[in-house]
Chains A and B, each alone.
Chain A
Amino acid sequence: QKEVEQDPGPLSVPEGAIVSLNCTYSNSAFQYFMWYRQYSRKGPELLMYTYSSGNKEDGRFTAQVDKSSKYISLFIRDSQPSDSATYLCAMSEWGGSYIPTFGRGTSLIVHP
């Protein structure tokens, strides 16, 4: 079993929908959680960064971490066609290797 599981999709939604993207993980030592957005034929860019449990909001994006369930989510409100991209979750341990473990990414398509 891979350490980080992420449904590859594609997830297709209409413009304006609320999108929920999720990852599960098995390593309880993960403390740092990130979401990257990757447009087609581009490198990933860091979108959200959270430490430990709880929520973090940035504009239309909310990252949520539930360490008890080993489950993280990224919510996108009022989704736009420009949000169409692949979203990768990533996480790393406190005090261990600082190199993040990535999920395989979820492809999101927001159609007008």
Chain B
Amino acid sequence: GAVVSQHPSRVICKSGTSVKIECRSLDFQATTMFWYRQFPKQSLMLMATSNEGSKATYEQGVEKDKFLINHASLTLSTLTVTSAHPEDSSFYICSPLNQQSEAFFGQGTRLTVV
């Protein structure tokens, strides 16, 4: 299967700071990227969809100014959680689509805001 690298796998940050999560497709080009978050004991919730070179589309209830998505190249997308608060603590997962629209998933980033 295709290789997706998501970094960091775990991060702890203080309230009010920003955290950047990177997602790279190592052996394919991803024109579309999905970003999910998952709270404990819950399913994955789609946050936003981004296409390379254009603005991301956010799901209802997701603040676009808080969760900044940059998809500047076909192999890299980033999610920045700005002014993080404890309620933003979650498991964040990226999912790039290859040119056949097959979806792959990163290993996830465990964010803890203290």
Determine if chain A interacts with chain B.
no
